[in-house]
A and B are shown apart, each in its own frame.
With several copies, the nearest count.
Chain A
Amino acid sequence: MGGASLFSVLVSEAPIALAEELARFAPGDGEAGGLGLFLGLVRGEAGGKALAALSLEHYPGMTERAISGILEEARTRWPLLGGRIVHRVGRLAPGEPIVLVIATAAHRAPALAATHFLIDWLKTRAPFWKKEIYADGSEAWVAARAEDEEMAARWQALSGAPGGVAPAPAR
């Protein structure tokens, strides 16, 4: 299998086709021994208010470029065999998947570390903006979280260390 085709990115208004996405990597090709996956889901409340929907804006062109760059960065850090990032844009209802990250490697440790890295960097380095639309009809743009910046920064501090330590989970 050509290596390049096993790394790809999709930004789309369509629902994430989970079964098809997993089928890209499982069953495996006999090389990959571990697959890490993260799926972000829309929560039904935000700041104590019931949420009717999320609206996701992005910067067409730059978004794909930024995500591809994040995937390339992960490949310099871990011996990955495959990687896939899918991000929804447009209007999403509570419960819907908003982002999917998959990383495969010969062994579990790099696959899981890369998965964590990819979602942390995606949250702080890809041009997406979320607006919360509440059940009462009001709406508000989501403010960037300092916590996300800190989680991503930990990876930066580790960039000299291939395969580096996973950052501590925020609570």
Chain B
Amino acid sequence: MSSTSVRLRYFAWLRERLKCESEEIALPPEVQTVGDLIALQRRRGPEFATLFAPTSVIRAAVNQNFATPNTPVGPGDEVAFFPPVTGG
């Protein structure tokens, strides 16, 4: 993985809608948090704009720990996006 990129992972209907399980994207310097990354995602196209809209229920994890919009994101991190969990 490039030294300025992050690994993104998608689960459940988010994975299906984006037709993507995992991807590596370059991390612009202004992206410092999960909230910044969500804003970046929103600009990647209409499907992204819908799925990452401010009203979206999507949850995030950074390096496999649940995250909030304020959680820091840096190069080399694994960031996952997914719907609310429904196990058990």
Query: B16 — nearest CB in chain A belongs to which residue?
Result: A141
Query: A120 — nearest CB in chain B belongs to which residue?
Result: B88
B48 in contact (CB, < 8 A): no
Q: How far is the CA of A143 from the CA of B64 in the complex (A)?
A: 22
Given A59-B61, A62-B64, A65-B64, A127 and B83 contact (CB-CB distance below 8 Å): no
Q: Is the CB of B12 within 8 A of A61?
A: no
Query: B61 — nearest CB in chain A belongs to which residue?
Result: A62
A135 in contact (CB, < 8 A): no
Q: Is the CB of A61 within 8 A of B85?
A: no
Q: Is the CB of B80 within 8 A of A128?
A: no
Q: How many residues of B contact A (CB 8 A)?
A: 17
Q: Is the CB of A144 within 8 A of B88?
A: no
Q: How many residues of A contact B (CB 8 A)?
A: 30
Q: Is the CB of A57 within 8 A of B85?
A: no
- Inter-chain contacts of A58 with B (CB < 8 A): 87
- Inter-chain contacts of A128 with B (CB < 8 A): 85-88
Interface centre among A58, A62, A119 (most CB of B within 10 A): A62
Q: How far is the CA of A39 from the CA of B61 in the complex (A)?
A: 28
- Inter-chain contacts of A144 with B (CB < 8 A): 57, 83-86
Q: How far is the CA of A9 from the CA of B80 in the complex (A)?
A: 22
A15 in contact (CB, < 8 A): no
Interface positions, chain A 129-151, Cβ under 8 Å from B, are 129-131, 141-145, 148
